[in-house]
Amino acid sequence: MQQRKIKPIIGISIGDINGISVEVTMKALLDNRTYKKFTPLIYAHGKAFTFYRKQLGIEDFNFNQIRSIDEIQHKRINVINVTEECPEVIPGTETQEAGKFALAALKMAVDDLKEGKIQALVTAPLNKNNVNSEELPFVGHTEFITEAVGAKESLMLMVSEQVRVGLVTGHLPLAKVAENVTQERINQKAKILIKSLEKDFGINKPKIAILGLNPHAGEDGLLGEEEEKIIKPAIHALKDQNKMVFGPYPADGFFGMAHQTKFDGVLAMYHDQGLVPFKSLAFSTGVNFTAGLPVVRTSPDHGTAYNIAGKNVADEGSMRAAIFLAADIIELHNPQESED
């Protein structure tokens, strides 16, 4: 009997309904490849999608409203309500109600992800300001999900067709970066990057570039000692473990001369060092992938964009890329799964 692959369920936590999250999700899921690769399950509220369908004039976006995941229908876009009532949708406006709703969607989606009810999670953009509270300090999706699934460490890995950039330090104030760039952390993050490139992207013996911290990668100690005392020893230790790592490279010249094309991945020391060139190269198609977790999580590489919310001008390219990257990784992990 001919067998066909089981289509995975990909969950989408809707994020801030007053930003562009609903718009880019709707547009991304109108891609005609959607039902061939996966079944979408959006953690949100049906009223938010009804509002934006009318607001944006996207009348061909149809969805199946469900009360529990057991009611999910394949070959349909499914929306599950995360709260009884939907907060008022006010495009372009930051509200506490929208922040609470975004957190409720994220929590429900992560719980289902941990229980294996969904095979991957795509997190639409939220606003940290209206999610963060004294009761629940919220630094970002990456940190929240890493802790929720019980992982000791993870890696923020920005992915596009042109380049993959991982970060040694993530959401840290710049003043605290240097003290957090240690040999142990570089070693740890590099190994997560290498393992992810092998497991999640199917790359055999990946070649990794490691950037310096200081201008000109320290200029042999003239512009800082971190390269000589921390980064180079970390690279040597990784090479001793037969890892294909090279550097440290000055970040400006590295990207300026397109050296990223010679490597399978790049490890940057801090957030803006990696994300400024990444978003310059791939803003409309870039994906934030959390490497090193026992689950699959991706997100678009942009924020809530309140200034264009509700105007039908948001580019869904990054959201689409995030959804389909999650589907591709699931397929790579489970190439033999099928049903009669």
- Domain with residue 313: its CATH number is 3.40.718.10
Percentage of residues in the chain having pLDDT higher than 90: 89
Question: What share of the chain has pLDDT > 70, as a percent?
Answer: 97
Please state the length of the chain. Answer: 340
Q: Are residues 282 and 337 in the same domain?
A: no
Residue 42 and residue 77 in one domain: yes
What does the pLDDT read at residue 218? 87
Is the distance from CB of 92 to CB of 62 less than 8 angstroms?
no
Identify whether residues 241 and 307 lie together within a single domain.
no
Question: Average of pLDDT values for 145-165?
Answer: 95
Model pLDDT for residues 97-131, shown as the tens digit of each residue:
999 999 999 999 999 999 999 999 999 999 999 99
| Model pLDDT for residues 165-174, shown as the tens digit of each residue | 999 999 899 9
Last residue of a domain, one of 271, 286, 301: 286
Q: What is the pTM of this model?
A: 0.93
- Do 137 and 35 share a structural domain? yes
Burial degree of 245 (CB within 10 A; 0-12, 13-18, 19+)? buried
Cβ neighbors of 86 (< 8 A, separation 6 or more) are: 17, 45, 46, 47, 48, 101
Domain hosting residue 190, numbered range = 154-286
Overall average pLDDT of the 272-289 stretch: 94
Domain boundary, last residue among 286, 315, 330: 286
Residue 117, pLDDT score: 97
> Using CA atoms, how far apart are residues 296 and 279, in angstroms rounded to an integer?
22
For residues 90 and 170, membership in a common domain is answered with no
- 97 and 164 in a single domain? The answer is no
pLDDT at 5: 64
Do 44 and 98 fall into the same domain? yes
Examine the pLDDT at 7 and tell me if it is beyond 80. yes
- pLDDT tens across 198-218, in order? 999 999 999 999 999 999 998
Residue 140 has pLDDT above 80, yes or no: yes
Please compute the mean of the pLDDT values over residues 51-65 and round it to a whole number. 96
Q: Does residue 50 register a pLDDT over 80?
A: yes
87 and 230 in one domain? Answer: no
Span between the terminal Cα atoms of the chain, in Å: 7
Examine the pLDDT at 336 and tell me if it is beyond 80.
Answer: no
Q: Mean pLDDT over residues 186-192, rounded?
A: 98
User: Same domain, yes or no, for 24 and 59?
Assistant: yes
Q: What is residue 109's DSSP assignment? A: H
Average pLDDT score over residue span 281-298? 95
For residue 121 the two structure tokens come to 């999670």
CA dist., res. 205 & res. 245, Å (int): 10
Domains: count for the chain:
2
The whole-number pLDDT of residue 32 equals 87
Report the pLDDT value the prediction gives residue 338, as an integer from 0 to 100.
Answer: 42
Whether residue 144 sits in one domain with residue 2: yes
Q: How many CB atoms lie within 10 A of CB 293?
A: 22
Q: List, in order, residues 6 or more apart from 310 with CB less than 8 Å away.
A: 23, 52, 55, 56, 91, 92
Specify the pLDDT at position 108: 97
- Same domain (yes/no): 147, 169: no
Tokens coding 32:
């005609």
Q: Are 11 and 43 in contact (CB under 8 A)?
A: yes
